[in-house]
Chain A
Amino acid sequence: MARMVISNNIRKLRFFQEEMTQQELAKKTGVTRQTIVAIENGKYFPSLELAFRIAYVFHTTLEEVFSYEMIKDTTNEESNHD
């Protein structure tokens, strides 16, 4: 089964919003700065509601903020061949 890798552009979007601070984004989305830090670093994937809130703050679409890539998992296939 393919593995999904989710990434985000929050750091870039913050930069283009006149270097919006993590705290400002946290306040606008109603979460703590710790959560924004975790999302930016890929340590936490937000709920759909929070994802939309983040996109709304940046006046953009969800796809502009979050993107995914399907990576084919070769480990299982290799073990099947063995």
Chain B
Amino acid sequence: MSYQEKRIGVSVVSGLLILVSYCIYGVSRFKVVGTGLLTDLRFWATTMLVTIGLGIAVMMLIQIILHIYLAISSEVKKEIAKKIAGDGTCGSKSYQGRSCEDLEMMDKEDEMDKLISLKASNYSFGVIGFGFVASLVTLYFRLPPAIMLNIMFVSFMLASLLEELLQLRFYRKGIYHG
């Protein structure tokens, strides 16, 4: 599994955890308070702001831990590669199919990464657009504005998850122009 795949995998798991925890909290509060919660926009705004803040903090923390782990493991692999080479340099010898240079260039972004990112974000914008239209439809049918807010919020989170899952798929299955 490449560096990009590991990074995306971790991001998907953390995003999923945040979405699930938001849903569990929302449903549990709804069970306690009842339908009155549907008109309490301040509650939903606070919950969403806290979720966004928590989401950013958790994502940053997990990415930092991942980078520390990868840095340590790549240093260990480099040392092993140097020992294999025997002359104190990495040379063309490799450890687990990766040379020292390979380990150093892990987090570099090139044209394939950019194309994958672009295509995945194209699809995710579609989900956001669909969520926006769906939220407008709920307003048209005079449903509580909390439903509209939740549809928009969840569609943003789902779009983000879809983008990452698509990136993972493109890395695995390949990506083509056009």
Interface residues of A (CB under 8 A from B): 21, 23-24, 26-27, 30-35, 38, 41-47, 50
Contact assessment for A44 and B108 in the assembled complex, using a CB-CB cutoff below 8 Å? no
Binding site for A on B (CB under 8 A): 2, 4, 92, 94, 98-99, 101-102, 105-106, 108, 110-113, 115, 171, 173-177
User: Can you list 19 A-B pairs with a CB-CB distance of less than 8 A?
Assistant: A23-B102, A23-B105, A24-B92, A30-B110, A31-B110, A31-B112, A32-B105, A32-B110, A32-B112, A33-B105, A34-B2, A38-B174, A42-B174, A43-B173, A43-B174, A44-B176, A45-B176, A46-B111, A47-B111
CA distance A18 to B146 in the complex (A): 66
Contact A43 B99 (CB under 8 A): no
Contact of A33 with B112 in the complex, beta carbons under 8 Å: no
Question: In the complex, which residues of chain A have a beta carbon less than 8 angstroms from the beta carbon of B174?
Answer: 38, 41-44
Taken together as a complex, chains A and B put the C-alpha atoms of A27 and B110 apart, in Å, by 12
CA of A43 to CA of B173 in the docked complex: distance in angstroms?
7
In the assembled complex, the Cα of A38 lies from the Cα of B106 at a distance in Å of: 15
16 extra interface residue pairs, beta carbon distance < 8 Å, beyond A35-B112, A42-B174, A44-B175: A21-B92, A21-B99, A23-B98, A23-B99, A23-B101, A26-B102, A30-B110, A34-B171, A35-B110, A38-B112, A41-B174, A43-B174, A44-B112, A44-B174, A45-B176, A46-B111
Whether B112 and A34, one on each chain, are in contact in the complex, defined by CB atoms closer than 8 angstroms, is: yes
Q: Closest residue to A43 on the B side, CB-wise?
A: B174
Given the interface contacts A24-B92, A27-B105, does A34 sit within 8 Å of B175 by beta carbon? no
Residues of B within 8 A of A47 (CB): 111
Find chain B residues with CB under 8 A from A32 CB.
Answer: 105-106, 108, 110, 112-113
**Which residues from B are CB-within-8-Å of A21?**
92, 94, 99
Judging by beta carbons under 8 Å apart, are B111 and A35 in contact? yes
